[in-house]
Structure 1
């Protein structure tokens, strides 16, 4: 397992990007739920963030692609608006143990 960060290090709701040997990924948090995805838009395969660690829309409810404005649900990565409806972000296997987010 690879330790990424403490859940409390993430804003609520919030997001944070990481470079790992498996590639670019990001973590999103809403309340006590944490989700980890590859940092790649399913439309063109480009990074999602518009600024470092900024993966959420202005209301911090959805993940947003800065280039295409596609919107994705935090809990499933499903695209609900933009050029790729029905596509999904690629989830990265992870778990939270004693308040720490780990990659599996």
Structure 2
């Protein structure tokens, strides 16, 4: 397992980007649950954020690609709007304990 960050670094309805051994990843917390994905839009392979740690749409209810506006469900990574509709972000297995968030 690889340590990603402390729980406090990803607040509820918040997101953060990380460089994990040269792989760009993002973590989002929704209703207390953390979801971790590769920071790569399935449409063009570009990073998703428009500013550091800014991965969510204005309502903080969807992950949004800054390049083409594609919208992804936080819980599954499924693209529900935009040029890659029906495709998915690449999920990473993670778990959380008292120390923080880990990539399995």
TM-score (ref. length: structure 1): 0.95
Q: Which residue is 1:89 aligned to?
A: 89
Q: CA RMSD in A?
A: 1.1
Structure 1 gap ranges (5+): none
Q: Which residue is 1:8 aligned to?
A: 8
Matches within 5 A, 1:52-71: 52-71=52-71
CA separation of 1:32 and 1:99: change in aligned 2, threshold 3 A: farther
Alpha-carbon distance between aligned partners in 2 of 1:59 and 1:99, rounded to the nearest angstrom: 29
Preserved contact between residue 42 and residue 84 of structure 1 (Cα < 8 Å): yes
Q: Which residue is 2:50 aligned to?
A: 50
Structure 2 gap ranges (5+): none
For 1:67-103, what per-residue CA distance to the aligned partner results, in whole angstroms no more than 9, with x for missing partners?
0100000000000001111000000111112261101
Question: 1:18 and 2:15 equivalent?
Answer: no
For residue 7 of structure 1, report the CA deviation from its aligned partner.
2.0
TM-score (ref. length: structure 2): 0.95
Preserved contact between residue 4 and residue 20 of structure 2 (Cα < 8 Å): no
Alpha-carbon distance between aligned partners in 2 of 1:21 and 1:9, rounded to the nearest angstrom: 19
Preserved contact between residue 4 and residue 102 of structure 1 (Cα < 8 Å): yes
Point out 4+ residue stretches in structure 1 off by more than 6 angstroms.
none
